[in-house]
């Protein structure tokens, strides 16, 4: 892949994208990073073999796609810092929760912009990202942005109004699954499994259930009913979850995350 990508901010999400790109076969000399500290730049160069620098003038020019992966509150400063170094036809892909296309385009006037919301399974090429297209973005620039996001998972172009929901569902979603895994492992240990055995069974159960969801085309309700015989063990467990308000809890959690995404985008 000859497209040059610069990732600005290599924390949890930025690193997931860099690692995902490299794992998908992107050449190391096609991936650069703009970071804040010379120490981190040196570490990235050593551990991942990519060019990393603290100066926008070194890594931004010549980048076809510039991914902004800093915290929402840092986005305006970062955009002001890179603006003068962007090529006219580069596309800027922001992954910052809540930060709107309008706010990005008010700083990067006339620049191609895509607002996206990926998630950390990008590290293993299993991410999913929603992407909303800016006002000055051509189809070719959108394709370039998508090619970067697709290197690390599935991508769907969506109306921007849905992106806070995407943030709350799939951007945040891995944490819901990991919390479930933690709780299930602790419960398994209390039921007599060793931690090693509990982890093996919980991890593989989540992986297997995920594969069933994505590969059979059978929806969650039917897959669940296949595990649930009347009067059986699953029915007993699901009864407790339903009675204690599991669905309402999930709905409240997703609503809280979407609200927080909107607040972050507003600079709160
Ligand atoms: N984590 C997720 O699962 C996830 C999922 C989807 C989207 N996102 C979005 O991704 C963005 C980053 O989140 P995160 O969880 O990866 O946060 P994070 O781990 O805190 O990473 C942010 C990184 O940005 C760096 N940074 C800050 N200012 C910078 C600057 N001026 N120039 C270069 N680098 C700078 C920070 O460096 P220092 O450490 O030196 O401050 C840090 O390495 C957020 O906007 C978030 O909404 C995250």
Ordered structural domains, the chain, with CATH: 5-158 (3.40.50.720), 173-265 (1.10.3730.10)
Judge whether 136 and 112 are in contact, CB under 8 Å: yes
Block residue for tokens 């596309």: 91
Which atom number of ligand 1 is nearest to the Cα of residue 118?
6
**CB-CB neighbours of 39 under 10 Å:** 10
Which atom number of ligand 1 is nearest to the Cα of residue 167?
6
Judge whether 94 and 75 are in contact, CB under 8 Å: yes
| Residue 1, pLDDT above cutoff 60 | no
Alpha-carbon span 184 to 55, nearest angstrom = 46
Residue range 29-87, pLDDT digits in tens: 999 999 999 999 999 999 999 999 999 999 999 999 999 999 999 999 999 999 999 99
Q: Is the CB of 74 under 6 A from ligand 1?
A: yes
As given in the structure block, the two tokens for residue 224 are 């669940």
Residue range 134-182, pLDDT digits in tens: 999 999 999 999 999 998 899 999 999 999 999 999 999 999 999 999 9
Alpha-carbon span 46 to 38, nearest angstrom = 12
Mutate to test the pocket of ligand 1, among 59, 69, 85 (most ligand atoms within 8 A of CB): 69
| Residue 2, pLDDT above cutoff 70 | no
pLDDT band (50, 70, 90) for residue 220: very high
Q: Separation of 1 CA from ligand 1 center, angstroms?
A: 25
Block residue for tokens 């020019």: 61
Query: pTM for the complete prediction?
Result: 0.92
Short-list 130, 129, 126, 75, CA closest to 105:
75
């Amino acid at each position: 892949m000859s497209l040059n990508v610069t990732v600005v901010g290599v924390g949890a999400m930025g690193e997931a994208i860099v690692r995902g790109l490299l794992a998908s076969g992107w050449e190391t000399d096609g991936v650069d990073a703009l970071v804040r500290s010379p120490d981190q730049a040196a570490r990235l160069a050593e551990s991942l073999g990519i060019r990393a620098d603290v100066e926008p003038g070194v890594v931004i020019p010549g980048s076809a796609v510039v991914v902004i992966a800093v915290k929402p509150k840092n986005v305006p400063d970062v955009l002001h810092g890179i603006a003068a170094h962007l090529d006219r036809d580069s596309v800027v892909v922001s992954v910052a929760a809540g930060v709107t296309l309008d706010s990005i385009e008010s700083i990067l006037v006339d620049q191609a912009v895509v607002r996206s919301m990926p998630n950390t399974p990008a590290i293993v090429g299993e991410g999913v990202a929603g992407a909303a297209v800016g006002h000055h973005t051509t189809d070719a620039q959108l394709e370039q942005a998508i090619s970067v996001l697709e290197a690390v998972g599935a991508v769907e172009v969506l109306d921007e109004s849905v992106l806070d929901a995407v943030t709350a569902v799939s951007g945040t979603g891995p944490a819901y699954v990991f919390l479930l895994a933690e709780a299930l492992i602790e419960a398994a240990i209390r039921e007599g499994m060793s931690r090693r055995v509990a982890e093996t069974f919980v991890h593989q159960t989540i992986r297997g259930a995920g594969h069933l969801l994505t590969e059979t085309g059978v929806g969650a309700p039917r897959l669940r009913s296949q595990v649930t015989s009347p009067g059986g063990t699953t029915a007993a467990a699901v009864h407790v979850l339903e009675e204690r308000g599991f669905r309402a809890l999930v709905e409240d959690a997703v609503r809280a995350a979407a609200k927080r995404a909107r607040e972050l985008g507003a600079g709160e």
